[in-house]
Amino acid sequence: AQTVTQSQPEMSVQEAETVTLSCTYDTSESNYYLFWYKQPPSRQMILVIRQEAYKQQNATENRFSVNFQKAAKSFSLKISDSQLGDTAMYFCAFMKQGRGYSTLTFGKGTMLLVSP
Amino acid sequence: DTGVSQDPRHKITKRGQNVTFRCDPISEHNRLYWYRQTLGQGPEFLTYFQNEAQLEKSRLLSDRFSAERPKGSFSTLEIQRTEQGDSAMYLCATLNLAVLNEQFFGPGTRLTVL
């Protein structure tokens, strides 16, 4: 079974600054996907960024980038130029690769508060 | 709106009552998932369907829970004889097998059992 650990229950950052959210995972699988999802207060969860484990290059999506360290089983999210709209719960999630697999395993989340 | 929709958004019920939630997927999304999210936790997998077939059920899904997807489109999740421990957000997510690795989530149904 896979486990996902987010060790930071809450983080705070000021607008325009950079923040990094941590995630570690445990698996015996060699092929998998990793995700960061964002859940704003009272709004639905949306995908922020994804990483395929077979790719060495770290994924980036505009102000969001990841630091994927496969050997260390670490998958952190960096948010640059933080905006007020980034205030949300952020979940790290794991999914085994393969057509028969698509269930997500989530961490407990990190609440990010962006202040003016 | 072409996203995943869920109904109702909120449900308050008394212990022992039955409740049913509905999820309408994005069209052409053949996989549909149910997750449960309790306060301060990440979502936990309950069950999923590929078209109308229920392919996997979590150990979290007690025999009081039943899910259906009769025509491979919308899905229902029923909880019989609700207990206070069933209070949670119930999330539905759907996926297109042609784009395997992204699940789209609905807004959730928040259940409060008094």
pLDDT, one tens digit per residue, over B11-27 is 999 999 999 999 999 98
pLDDT of residue B53: 92
For residues B23-38, give the mean pLDDT: 93
Q: Which segments in chain A show pLDDT lower than 50?
A: none
Residue B113's identity, in one-letter code, is: V
A93 and chain B: CB distance < 8 Å anywhere? yes
How far, in Å, CA of B2 to CA of B34, rounded? 19
B39 and chain A: CB distance < 8 Å anywhere? no
pLDDT, one tens digit per residue, over A18-32 is 999 999 999 998 889
Please calculate the CA angle A46-A105-A6 and round it to the nearest 5 degrees: 80
pLDDT of residue B100: 61
A91 and chain B: CB distance < 8 Å anywhere? yes
How far, in Å, CA of A104 to CA of A54, rounded? 18
- Chain B residue numbers with beta carbons less than 8 Å from the beta carbon of A50 are 101-102
Burial profile A17-48: b = 16 or more Cβ within 10 angstroms, e = fewer:
eebebbbbbeeeeeebbbbbbbbeeeebbebb
Q: Is the pLDDT of residue B102 over 80?
A: yes
